[in-house]
Structure 1
Amino acid sequence: MKYRLISVLFLTLLLNGCASSGTASSDASPEAAQQAYTQLGVQYLQAGDTVNAKSSLQRALSINERYAPAHNALGLVFQAERDFELAERYFKRAIELEPMSAIFHNNYGAFLYARQRFAEACHQFSRATEDPFYPARAQAFENMGRCYIQLGRLDVAEHALRRSLDLQRDRPFAQVAMAGLLLDQGNIPEAVGLYNRFRAQVDARMAEQDANSLWVGVRIARADRNPSLAATYGLLLRNLYPDSEEYRLFKESEQ
Structure 2
Amino acid sequence: MKGLGFFLLALSMAGCVAHSNGGYGGTPQHTISREEARAKIHTELAAQYYDRGQFGVALEEVSLALQSKSDYAPAYNVRGLVRMALYEDQQADEDFRHSLRLDSIDSEAHNNYGWFLCKRGKELDSIKHFMAALKNPLYATPGKAYLNAGLCSMKAGNIKDAEEFLQKALTTQPNMPEALLGLSNLYFTKADYAGAKSYFLIFKRNNPSPLTAENLWLAIRIERKLGDRTTENSYAIQLRKNFPDARETQLMLYRQ
TM-score between both structures, scaled by the size of structure 1: 0.78
Matched, 1:154 2:156: no
CA deviations over 1:68-127 (Å, ceiling 9, x no partner): 111112212323333222121111111122222111011112222333333333333333
Q: 1:213 to 1:81 in 2, by over 3 A?
A: closer
Structure 1 residue runs of 5 or longer lacking an equivalent are 19-27
Contact kept in structure 1, 2:79 and 2:95, CA below 8 Å: yes
Q: 1:247 to 1:144 in 2, by over 3 A?
A: farther
Shift of 1:135: 2.3
The aligned counterpart of 1:234 is: 236
User: How many Å separate the matches in 1 of 2:250 and 2:162?
Assistant: 24
Match for 2:235: what amino acid?
A: Y
Shift of 1:151: 0.9
User: How many Å separate the matches in 2 of 1:185 and 1:141?
Assistant: 20
Q: Which protein is bigger by CA-based radius of gyration?
A: 1
Matched, 1:59 2:64: yes
Matched, 1:13 2:19: yes
CA deviations over 1:21-78 (Å, ceiling 9, x no partner): xxxxxxx622322222322333443454444433332333234322111111221232
User: How many Å separate the matches in 2 of 1:241 and 1:14?
Assistant: 39
Query: Is the deviation greater in 6-15 or in 97-106?
Result: 6-15
CA deviations over 1:138-178 (Å, ceiling 9, x no partner): 12211111111111100011001111111122222221221
The aligned counterpart of 1:70 is: 75
The aligned counterpart of 1:244 is: 247
The aligned counterpart of 1:22 is: none
Matched, 1:115 2:120: yes
Contact kept in structure 2, 1:215 and 1:247, CA below 8 Å: no
Contact kept in structure 1, 2:184 and 2:200, CA below 8 Å: yes
Identity level (%) = 25
User: How many Å separate the matches in 2 of 1:237 and 1:48?
Assistant: 27
* Matched pairs, number: 241
CA deviations over 1:196-235 (Å, ceiling 9, x no partner): 2122235xxx133234322332233245442210222234
Contact kept in structure 1, 2:15 and 2:115, CA below 8 Å: no
> 3-state SS of the aligned residue for 1:99?
coil
Match for 2:147: what amino acid?
A: E
Contact kept in structure 2, 1:211 and 1:247, CA below 8 Å: no
Structure 2 residue runs of 5 or longer lacking an equivalent are 25-32
User: How many Å separate the matches in 2 of 1:150 and 1:233?
Assistant: 26
Matched, 1:201 2:201: no
| Correspondences of 1:91-106 after superposition (within 5 Å) | 91-106=96-111
The aligned counterpart of 1:214 is: 216
User: How many Å separate the matches in 1 of 2:250 and 2:121?
Assistant: 22
The aligned counterpart of 1:124 is: 129
Which fold has the larger relative contact order, with Cα–Cα distance below 8 Å and residues 6 or more apart in sequence? 2
Q: 1:77 to 1:186 in 2, by over 3 A?
A: closer
User: How many Å separate the matches in 2 of 1:209 and 1:149?
Assistant: 22
Match for 1:248: what amino acid?
A: L
The aligned counterpart of 1:79 is: 84
Match for 1:227: what amino acid?
A: R
Shift of 1:241: 6.2
Matched, 1:42 2:47: yes
Q: 1:234 to 1:85 in 2, by over 3 A?
A: same
